[in-house]
Amino acid sequence: MSTLQYVREIISKQISTLQNPIGEDKKALESEPYHNLQKSSVLLESRCFNDHQLQDKKCRQILSKLIYLINQGEKFNDQESLSLFFGITKLFQSNNVDLRRMIYLMIKEFKDENSMYVVISCLAKDITSKNDLFRINALRTLPYVLDQSNLVQLDRYLKNAILEKSQPISSAALIAGLQIFRISPDFIRKWTNEVADRLNSKYPQNSFHALLLLHEIKSNDKVTFTKILTGLTKETLVPIANMQVIRFIREILNTDELDQQYEKLFIEYLLRQIHKSQEIVIFEACKALCDLKSLSNKDLQPMVQVVTVFLQSSNVINKFVALKILNRLISNPIRRSLITPSHIEPLIQDSNKSLSSLAVSILLKVCQETNIERLLNQIYEYLNDMSDEFKIDVLRSVKALAKNSPNKWKSIISFLQQTFKCEASQEFKKYSIEIFEFIIHEIPEARENAIMALADYIEDCQLSSLQLSVLSILNREAAKGQCPTRAIRIVNNRLHLEDAEIRAAAVGVLGKFLLHYPHEKTNLIELLQAAAQDPDEEVRNRSRFYISESAAPKEENTPLSIEELDAIEAYLQQNIQEIQQSNEEVLQLEKIMAYAEQNKGKIKKTEVLQELVEEELIQTHESESGFETYKKLFKESTIFCDYGVLRKSSRAQNLTDSKCEYLVTVVKHFFDNHIILEYKVKNTLDNVTLSDVSLELTIKNVNLQFERIVPAKQIQPQCASNILVGLQFNPNLRLVSSNIQSILTFTVNENGTTYQDEYQTEDFIITYSDFFLPIQWFKKFQTEWESLKSQEMSATYQLDYKNTDIAIKELVKHFGFQVCDNSDQIQPQNKFHTLLLSGKYLDTKNALVICQIGFQQNIGCVLKIKCKSEEDNLSTNIVETLG
Amino acid sequence: MSQLSTSISKIFGIIFVRSQDGTRLYSKYYPQLFPKNLLRVPEGVITNIDVQKQFEHNVWEKGKRVGARLTKGSETEIFQYCQFNIVMKAFNEVHLFVLGDFEENEIILSQVINGIYESLNHITKDHINKKTLLENFDQVIIIIDEICDQGIIITIDPSVIIARVTMRDTEAITLDKQETSGSSGGAFSSVFASAKRTFASQFMGSG
């Protein structure tokens, strides 16, 4: 370090102490050995790598300082990297083992593709070294510096290393093989014999590593691998390999159509593993068994017994895993009777919060009515420590509780009220509000308390979207005359405290009160008159409307129906300009009444249509005419007409297998800013009627939001009905993709007894390709590309495709576009492959894509994508889908 | 680059942070073996170093709440954060976390963290703290590199790890006898002897 630098450092230290006189933390940091390590000074030190007489220890220290800096996020520019890297290769001259060890680590940490070739010869030398430790490390470092050209050269050494008697060397080669497999799978596939030979190695980790690599080698040949696994079930394996065998068996059992004979053999094997002595094996086997739907509760009894013993263990990890297994088991409702709550209850008290919250979640799912209150209190204590995802899971259980034990509504409401107070995501609170809504609808005696609890909540709520959801519930209930008048004050407070959107919604609620609660009239008119002075136009108009509405003499003394009021609101919205321009004359009562009268018929008509929609949707088939029918139906549907024109419908997709009691399919309908999911549920049972069939959706993408749902009221035996779910996607995006998880909820009516049940269907995905039709509307791609006068969007990606062929297939699948000019045929002489694609976005906008696919040895598949379409925003989105 | 099968047992990351503020001492992530969707955490995409640091800070905060009762290095806590199973240990001024995905065998994670613990005990002569870890930083990073290669577990037997860290042997050495680092045995040897027995039965397993 130069003197100047040293002085500078001291001064800067002094300044920082002056600025932070208390600085306990600072002091703690300053006493750290690597505190204030500067890149420049370490680089300066590293010049000694070029010395003739290497100081091994000093060099090792400098390397570890450099690794520290890299790990802290320090970046090196090209110049610095290059000179550093050449310095490092000089260090190979020293035969000091400790220094050599650090060099290997440095090469792995450094990861500078451009200079890696420099060290390959040094490594190749060490692979054949007499020192086993050098060999191990060289083998493990090799995948970082390798490219396909020198792979062939080294093949012999690697294979020999696998067969080496020394198991650490063999393991190092196998691990290297796993890493090289990612770069060049075909190359490693030639090693089958060598790897299989190590499978029976008597050394502990060796067989584990061989098993991993063999599984990858045989990833395209499930039949052979199944046979290998069958062989292994007869062997005595080391625990870690035993665990891995169970995992592979689980993979096969869950994903493949398996020969029954193998299935039986594997299941019997798993059932034997739960009696082994090592937890690592027992737990893996239990997890595998949890997922098997073909097993009866009786088959699983021994497994539950084993897991229950671990609940009493003193080891926190064993308890945690045992709970996790049980929680997973009862995600299938049939398994709930296997659980004895008293075994789990003590764990609510566990000082590990992760553990206690898991216990709570299980108990909520299996609990008895008498314990609900106590349980909910305990849960609340832990709520803040749970992850957001888990909190929602708890709410889901609470909702099921409200369904199954409606007379416990008091405890449930007070619990939900508390959830508003805890720190949690907006999604969580929205779900709380949804449960309130459920209670308001389903538990009449709880309605008033639930409504007031919601009203109280908007007093403290900061989020306007949540305020609006609550106000819309109040609006509806007030219109039915079922909202307690105590809520008026709270709603009125909104007019003084909130922004225009909320004020307008609040006026709506007050208006409904005014029309349906005659004894509060004077008071409400006063409030609305104040609101009529509001700075916002919408708020003023709404207030005036309701005031004049209440003043109208009711001719036949029949109050307006909700539909009529809605029609009037619609009328007002449509004619708002006219109303503003022509003073208040348009608002004359006669005119509004006349409009309402006119539209009465229409409303009735749309109601009829709505029934028709449901009827016909069931019968529609996947055909061209089917799409036209859908288009018409949605356009005329009262519920979904605001979504605009239907642009595209997907094919029906099965979400259940054909043996299930309830068959569920889904069709995705695409609109400009919305997606409607149409679930068709068929009840295949003869003596069971389903009612209130609804869905709980988990959408993994925040850019896609649940908006509304039309449940099916009843599904008779051997009948089908459909459930429509409206989703809205982020209006700034033209494309969105998400995994959708759906849980069907319904009441089962079987020979006079009824109970609640739920059923989780398979997940499905809304893909980017769903948005496109593969259409080519032109003759020559290039001409069309040039003539499309819009901005060209482009990006470059590194993708995980193994070869050009796969890349082409995957890209075509990804976009769902049409291949143009036979560009999916590979021209071997070209360095890059150019794939030309065309498609139509939601039947409205044409889009063109050019993909240039190339392979670079160290990096793999490199893709340059260019896109032009009739909307720049769309082009950007298309390019970004690969990111 | 192609993806390896998701069902192979693997480690997602190993994190050392300062107990005082949750900032990074040393962290290794092995994202290469994981599908892309697993790399997305609330803080962003984990391959970005700033995201990693924020993520570590949040793991540390959550870990502090969950594992408030941790006092001794020999104790391990377990919890979930996002899509990860996490085991943790608390030392003087340092928290250590080992992460696996949600499906990962929790016992393996705890054996890995114990393997790290025993090895660190050896190099710090039973005094694991921020200062000793940084003073022996060269050995700490090699220990991590000997336990796990890109997420694949190499070995968790501390006697093997130490043998390789010190470049003395490829296989297990009897640590009690090797005195080069000036260790006088003592507390370490006894803890270690029992640990070794556990490992022998857990990992190598005679059946």
Burial of A573 (0-12, 13-18, 19+ CB in 10 A): exposed
State percent of chain A over pLDDT 70: 87
Burial of A276 (0-12, 13-18, 19+ CB in 10 A): middle
Domain assignment of residue B8, yes or no: no
From A387, which residue of chain B is nearest by alpha-carbon distance? Answer: B81
Residue length of chain A? 883
Mean pLDDT of all residues in A430-453 = 89
Q: Which residue has the tokens 């075509």?
A: A812
DSSP per-residue string spanning A711-764? -EEEE-TT-EEEEEEEEEE-TT-S---EEEEEEEEEEEEETTEEEEEEEEPPPE
Residues B87, B78: Cα–Cα separation, whole Å: 4
Please list the helix, strand and coil fractions of chain B in percent, rounded to the nearest 5, in that order: 40, 20, 40
According to DSSP, the residues that pair with A649 across neighbouring strands are A669
Average pLDDT, chain B: 83
Residues B207, B195: Cα–Cα separation, whole Å: 18
Q: Residues with Cβ < 8 Å from A8, sequence gap 6 or more?
A: none
Mean pLDDT of all residues in A348-370 = 81
Q: Between A and B, how many residue pairs show a Cβ–Cβ distance under 8 A?
A: 182
From B133, which residue of chain A is nearest by alpha-carbon distance? Answer: A33
A136:B153 CB<8 A: no
Domain count, chain B: 1
pLDDT, one tens digit per residue, over B37-73 is: 889 888 889 999 999 999 999 999 988 877 767 778 8
Lowest mean pLDDT: which of A88-92, A123-127, A376-380, B145-149? A376-380
Q: What is the Rg, in whole angstroms, of the alpha carbon atoms belonging to chain B?
A: 17
- A481 confidence band (pLDDT: 50, 70, 90): confident
- Six-digit token pair at A259? 């020969």
From B15, which residue of chain A is nearest by alpha-carbon distance? Answer: A71
Q: In the predicted model, is pLDDT for residue A563 greater than 70?
A: no
Cβ proximity of A487 and A455 under 8 Å: yes
B30: containing domain: 13-202
Cβ proximity of B141 and B26 under 8 Å: yes
Contacts of B49 in chain A (CB under 8 A): 73
- A9 confidence band (pLDDT: 50, 70, 90): low
Residues A556, A688: Cα–Cα separation, whole Å: 46
Nearest to A650 by CA among A670, A620, A631, A624: A670
State percent of chain A over pLDDT 90: 23
Domain assignment of residue B96, yes or no: yes
pLDDT, one tens digit per residue, over B128-140 is: 999 999 999 999 9
Mean pLDDT of all residues in A713-734 = 87
Could you tell me how many helices (H) and strands (E) chain B has, helices first?
6, 9
Q: Which residue has the tokens 């090196």?
A: A76
A72:B110 CB<8 A: no
Domain assignment of residue B5, yes or no: no
Q: In the predicted model, is pLDDT for residue A711 greater than 50?
A: yes
Lowest mean pLDDT: which of A282-286, A511-515, A636-640? A636-640
Domain assignment of residue B1, yes or no: no
Q: Is B45 helix (H, G, I), strand (E, B) or coil?
A: strand
Distances (CA, A) of A191 to A160, A162, A203, A638, B71: 11, 9, 20, 65, 49
Per-residue confidence (pLDDT) for residue A114, from 0 to 100: 66
B207:A236 CB<8 A: yes
B71 touches chain A (CB under 8 A): no
Chain centroid, CA B133 distance in Å: 13
CATH code, B26? 3.30.450.60
- Six-digit token pair at A524? 């409400």
Could you tell me how many helices (H) and strands (E) chain A has, helices first?
38, 17
Residues B36, B83: Cα–Cα separation, whole Å: 12
Q: In the predicted model, is pLDDT for residue A793 greater than 60?
A: yes
Domain assignment of residue B207, yes or no: no
Domain assignment of residue B3, yes or no: no
A133:B164 CB<8 A: yes
Per-residue confidence (pLDDT) for residue A555, from 0 to 100: 47
Identify residue A177 by its one-letter amino acid code: G
- Alpha helical stretches, state H, A233-296: 239-255, 260-273, 279-290
Lowest mean pLDDT: which of A14-18, A192-196, A707-711, A875-879? A14-18
From A35, which residue of chain B is nearest by alpha-carbon distance? Answer: B134
Q: What is the Rg, in whole angstroms, of the alpha carbon atoms belonging to chain A?
A: 34
Kindly provide the b/e burial profile for residues B103-113, where b requires at least 16 CB atoms within 10 angstroms of the residue's own CB: ebbbbbbbbbb
Q: In the predicted model, is pLDDT for residue B9 greater than 90?
A: yes
Per-residue confidence (pLDDT) for residue B84, from 0 to 100: 92
B201:A278 CB<8 A: yes
- Six-digit token pair at A386? 């749970």
Q: Could you say which of A102, A105, A247 has the minimum Cβ distance to residue B9?
A: A247
Per-residue confidence (pLDDT) for residue A608, from 0 to 100: 37
B17 φ, ψ (degrees, to nearest 5): -125, 160
The vertex-A590 CA angle with A589 and A593, nearest 5°, equals: 85
Distance from CA of B203 to the nearest CA of A (A): 6
Residue length of chain B? 207
pLDDT, one tens digit per residue, over A167-194 is: 899 999 999 999 999 888 888 999 999 9
Distances (CA, A) of B73 to A384, A656, B57, B93: 27, 49, 20, 12
Q: Around Cβ A536, how many Cβ atoms within 10 Å?
A: 15
Burial of A160 (0-12, 13-18, 19+ CB in 10 A): middle
Per-residue confidence (pLDDT) for residue B118, from 0 to 100: 94
Mean pLDDT of all residues in A339-362 = 84
Residues A325, A304: Cα–Cα separation, whole Å: 9
- Six-digit token pair at B105? 């065998």
Lowest mean pLDDT: which of A264-278, A765-779, B102-116, B140-154? A765-779
Residues A84, A104: Cα–Cα separation, whole Å: 14
Q: Residues with Cβ < 8 Å from A342, sequence gap 6 or more?
A: none
Average pLDDT, chain A: 83
Per-residue confidence (pLDDT) for residue A13, from 0 to 100: 57
A280:B130 CB<8 A: no
- B184 confidence band (pLDDT: 50, 70, 90): very low
Q: In the predicted model, is pLDDT for residue A610 greater than 60?
A: no
Per-residue confidence (pLDDT) for residue B191, from 0 to 100: 41
Q: In the predicted model, is pLDDT for residue A12 greater than 90?
A: no
Cβ proximity of A303 and A289 under 8 Å: yes
Per-residue confidence (pLDDT) for residue A784, from 0 to 100: 86
- Kindly state the DSSP code that residue A393 receives in the 8-state scheme: H
Q: Is B94 helix (H, G, I), strand (E, B) or coil?
A: strand
Domain assignment of residue B35, yes or no: yes
Per-residue confidence (pLDDT) for residue A636, from 0 to 100: 80
H or E stretch covering A330: none
A278:B49 CB<8 A: no
Q: Around Cβ A829, how many Cβ atoms within 10 Å?
A: 5
Identify residue A33 by its one-letter amino acid code: P
- Six-digit token pair at A221? 């040949």
DSSP per-residue string spanning A4-36? HHHHHHHHHHHHHHHH-SS-HHHHHHHTSTTTT
pLDDT, one tens digit per residue, over A99-141 is: 999 999 999 888 766 666 778 888 888 888 888 889 999 999 9
Distance from CA of B60 to the nearest CA of A (A): 13
Strand order in the sheet with B84-91: B24-29, B13-18, B94-101, B84-91, B77-81
Q: Is A10 helix (H, G, I), strand (E, B) or coil?
A: helix
- Six-digit token pair at B116? 């790290």
From A388, which residue of chain B is nearest by alpha-carbon distance? Answer: B82
